[in-house]
Structure 1
Amino acid sequence: MTAGPEAPEAPAPPTPATMDDAVAAYHDDVAERLAELREHALTLRANVGNGDVDSAMQAWLDAQQTWQRVGAAYGSFGDLGSAIAPGSRGLEGGAANPDFSGLRRIEYGLWHGQGAGELIPVIDKLLGDLDALAAKLPETAVAPSDMPLRLHEILEDAQRDHLSGRGDQGSGLALALARADVDGTQEVLDLLRGLLENRKAGFPARLDGELAALGAALDATQRDGTWTDYAKVPLGERQAVNSALGRVLESLSLIPPLFSTD
């Protein structure tokens, strides 16, 4: 069969001209991410209900990575954000605390042998919290002044919570989550690209290269396309990730001062 003529590529969306434009475009992206996250949570619920642990673990990873890609917005979600993706550290009793909920609680349960009886109520609460956040999203604004700061904070949080092991609840999938944080950072950078170029010509392209290098270092830790436990990745590969991360964090730290006079 002969292929027909290729359809013309869709034009790239216009680069936001102001910080307010960037925030508005970002809120649209966040709404799409949260809808995607809800679909992963429904798949997760079905897999847990069917006793399919391997599929449930993959659905959890898909959901958690989607949350990481929300990126600059999740710091604005308040108590709902803490309920959707908390950590047990700092809670009295740790993972046994009844206030421990959301994606990290589900991670703990899946990797510690808990079944549907224990996890379905947690997943149902997660779905309810996602619905509540979706309803509240129009009034949950990222302040324009926060966007440059958040661009740096996404990967700073990845270093603190994922690659340190502090946030892990048993999956060992720190590198997979850090990879999603790279995606989230790139998304925010793309929205701020024109504004940043006006302040420091050539800097967005430099950041593109550094983020690509970090993404490649993270991808290189996979085995046959599968993410593995961080502790089982050879030291040299982990060092390559940490080196690339340190380089891009140093560059990203220069961005907030460029917008400090706005």
Structure 2
Amino acid sequence: MRSTRFLVLAAAGLLAPVGLAGCGGGDSDGADAAAGGPIAVKATDSSCEVARTDTTAGTVTFKVTNSGAKVTEFYIYATGDRIMGEVENVVPGVSRELRVELPAGTYQTACKPGMIGNGIRGAFKVSGSAAPLTDNAALAEASASYQRYVQSQTGALLDKTTEFVNAVKAGDVAKAKALYPVARTYWERIEPVAEIFGDLDPKIDGREDVIEEGMEFTGYHRIEKDLWTTGNIAADGPIADRLLADVKEIVAKANAEKLSPLNLANGAKELLDEVASSKITGEEERYSHTDLWDFSANVEGSKAAIAALRPVLQERAPDLVKQLDTEFANVETTLGRHRAGDGWKPQNQLTPAELKELSDVVNALAEPISRVAAVVAK
């Protein structure tokens, strides 16, 4: 769940937003779309100008340029606010591309200046038909392989969340604190899949900022706040029950979801965006400071998506695979310096220099990952 606040450490000069990786800053115009190129999206703090509001089915590329003063996001929604694709952390003056596979149907585009609210929306129509990417046998196997990974993680998510909820309802603060980051590990590994179902994600993973957007503060982070601020969870039974019910629902939906290979490529990048925008900064786990658990899980989830795509990438872009292997290893080595027993040090115990080092290796990994979607869409 995206934060409603700007990247605190980035504003202080400690972090370079991961969204900068592999992007240009120039404008694009409607001529690109007319020629079959990317559909230009000009995002400002008060508008979302999409150069075309219709296209043909298949892989669609949007080039999102932030001409405003606030960090923004861009989404493609299907019916029921199902997220077909998104690009996060588009900082002012920067362009980001989003590739998404869209069958015929009606959709909505949305820019979210400040990364809050329902966004500035517009209608978007896709007509005609196109062979899905999974007609390619290697890409079909990549999607199937990653789906098996999702199933393994959702099973563990349900088990560990059940244990966590039982500890909360029993009033066992120590046990609940110990289980909290473990349960969230499985959520963080598959977060891009969970976020497809936009109505459930904020109920489960919304931080306290959701109150500003008119939503109720529930889920993991509501219980986290009580555990680490007052230690009083006597009234959290109903919140825990609701969390478990919502997790069961999202597990069922995630396991039934048919993922496009572009979901894997985009998801791998989104997980790194999550690291930069909330894990390194301490935004995510602001009460427990267990952010490095989430950091590690996000990187593991990103690596799993790339692993599923590896045979295709190896055939089409072997040099990119070598770079990805190197940068994943660099992230894992750097993060590994902050282990504590079977877990991780609290985020607030790291120095600014250590946080900057983590930011640098994440950005170095984000650059080659930002090129994966284009390789998959060939």
With the shorter chain as reference, the TM-score category is: 0.7 to 0.9
For residue 42 of structure 1, what is the amino acid of its counterpart?
Answer: T
Measure the CA separation in 2 of the matches of 1:57 and 1:192: 36
Change (3 A) 1:82 1:28: farther
Q: Does 1:57 align with 2:57?
A: no
Structure-1 residue corresponding to 2:189: 69
Q: How much identity, in percent, do the aligned residues show? A: 23
Q: 1:259 Cα deviation (Å)?
A: 2.7
Correspondence for 2:315: 198
The offset of 1:98, in angstroms, is 6.9
1:40 corresponds in structure 2 to: 160
Rate the CA distance shift 1:83–1:90 in 2: closer, same or farther, 3 A: closer
Matched, 1:23 2:143: yes
- Which residue number corresponds to residue 203 of structure 2? 83
> What is the DSSP-based 3-state SS (H/G/I as helix, E as strand, rest coil) of the residue aligned with 1:172?
coil
- Quickly say closer, same or farther: Cα 1:241–1:33, change in 2 above 3 A: same
SS in 2 for 1:76: coil
TM-score (norm 2): 0.59
Counterpart for residue 268 of structure 2: 151
Q: Deviations over 1:211-251 (max 9, x none)?
A: 12212211212344542221211333222211211110112
**In 2, are the aligned partners of 1:72 and 1:188 still within 8 Å (CA)?**
no
Give me the whole-angstrom Cα distance separating, in 1, the residues matched to 2:186 and 2:255: 20
Once the two structures are overlaid, the 10-residue window that deviates more, 201-210 or 244-253, is: 201-210
Q: Deviations for 1:121-147, whole angstroms, at most 9, x for unmatched residues?
A: 111111111222233335433333332
Taking structure 1 as the reference length, the TM-score comes to: 0.83
Please give the alpha-carbon distance, in whole angstroms, between the structure 2 residues aligned to 1:20 and 1:152: 20
Letter of the aligned partner of 1:21 in structure 2?
A: E
Tell me if 1:239 matches 2:339.
no
Query: What residue ranges of structure 2 are gaps of 5+ in the alignment?
Result: 1-135
CA RMSD of aligned residues (A): 2.3
Distance in structure 2 (CA, Å) of the matches to 1:72 and 1:206: 23
| Cα offset, 1:203, TM superposition | 2.2
State how far apart, in whole Å, the 2-side matches of 1:81 and 1:140 are: 15
Give the counterpart of 2:333 among 206, 216, 239.
216
The code of the aligned residue for 2:337 comes to: A
- Bigger proportion of residues as strand: 2
Amino acid across the alignment from 1:62: V
- Partner amino acid, structure 2, of 1:124: D
Count of equivalent residues: 243
Which sits farther off after the overlay, 119-128 or 225-234? 225-234
Higher RCO, 1 vs 2 (CA within 8 Å, ≥6 residues apart) = 1
Q: Do the aligned residues in 2 keep the contact of 1:186 with 1:208 (CA within 8 Å)?
A: no
Partner residue, 1:4:
none
Counterparts of 1:60-209 in structure 2 under 5 Å? 60-92=180-212, 99-209=216-326
How far is the alpha carbon of 1:60 from its aligned partner?
0.7
CA 1:183/1:31 → structure 2, altered by over 3 Å: closer, same or farther? same
1:194 to partner: Cα distance: 0.7
More helix by share: 1
Summarize deviations over 1:164-191 as a string: whole Å, max 9, x none. 2332331112222111111101111110
Could you report, residue by residue, the CA deviation over 1:40-79 in whole angstroms, capped at 9, with x for unpaired residues?
A: 1122123223433232112110011110111441232221
Distance in 2, matches of 1:62 and 1:250, equals: 29
More deviation, 179-188/223-232: 223-232
Separation in 2 of the partners of 1:48 and 1:138? 27
Deviation at 1:196, TM superposition (A): 0.9
Q: Which residue of 2 aligns with 1:6?
A: none
